[in-house]
């Protein structure tokens, strides 16, 4: 049997950050990726969906001032993350993202994988300034998604 997940290769760039001193509107995790990065992560999520527990590790690009200029909240971020380990656990109900040193560990399950893939599909189209809830807990920090700096802000 072919292992589609282990054959996946990352393409493009992906950026993940959170702000060091966020107010209520800027708390949580922030994501963007270039077009190839969006396509690549969606491809990985498609390969994971419906399968057995598995994981893959991605390289994260350094968050630049140009990336931070899109949300325009400021330039003070918390931590520098270089890797993102995406773990697919079929029965996981919530999205989880946990810092482990300079790496991040993301857990995604069948219940949430489509929402995450759809968010990256929007970013791929140049759409941003929207969030998804990682769980049913209303107090959970949202995951925010932003368009890449070279993309004009669309009318959404």
DSSP string, 46-92: HHHTTS-SEEEEEEPPPPPHHHHHTTTS-S-BS----EEEEEE-TT-
Q: Which residues contact 39 (CB under 8 A, 6 or more apart)?
A: 11, 12, 124
Indicate the pTM of the whole model. Answer: 0.90
Tokens of 154: 């669309």
Q: Is residue 140, in this structure, part of any structural domain at all?
A: yes
pLDDT at 73: 87
Spatial distance between the Cα atoms of 122 and 146, rounded to a whole number of angstroms: 9
Tell me what pLDDT residue 30 has.
Answer: 94
Give every CB contact of residue 98 below 8 A, 6+ residues apart in sequence: 104, 105
Q: In this structure, what token pair is assigned to residue 136?
A: 């049913």
Residue 90 pLDDT greater than 50, yes or no: yes
Count of the separate structural domains present in the chain: 1
The DSSP secondary-structure symbol of 62 reads P
Q: Is residue 150 part of a domain?
A: no
The pLDDT value given to residue 78? 86
The CA distance from 142 to 119, in Å, is 12
Evaluate whether residue 64 is within a structural domain. yes
State the average pLDDT over residues 58-69: 94
Residue 151 in any domain: the answer is no
Confidence (pLDDT) at 1:
60
pLDDT exceeds 50 at position 27? yes
Domain around 63: 4-145
Q: Looking at residues 40-63, what average pLDDT do you find?
A: 96
Measured in whole angstroms, how far is the alpha carbon of residue 69 from the centre of its chain? 18
């Amino acid at each position: 049997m072919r292992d589609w997940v282990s054959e996946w290769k990352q393409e493009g760039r992906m950026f993940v950050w959170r702000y060091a001193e966020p107010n209520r509107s800027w708390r949580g995790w922030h994501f963007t990726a270039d077009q190839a990065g969006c396509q690549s992560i969606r491809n990985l999520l498609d390969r994971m969906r419906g399968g057995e527990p598995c994981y893959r590790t991605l390289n994260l690009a350094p968050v630049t001032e140009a990336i931070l200029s899109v949300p325009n909240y400021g330039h003070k971020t918390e931590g520098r993350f270089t890797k993102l380990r995406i773990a697919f656990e079929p029965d996981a109900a919530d999205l989880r993202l946990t810092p482990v040193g300079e790496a991040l560990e993301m857990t995604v399950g069948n219940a949430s994988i489509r929402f995450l893939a759809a968010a990256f599909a929007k970013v791929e189209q140049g759409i941003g300034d929207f969030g998804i809830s990682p769980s049913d807990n209303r107090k959970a920090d949202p995951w925010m998604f932003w368009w890449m700096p070279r993309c004009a802000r669309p009318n959404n």
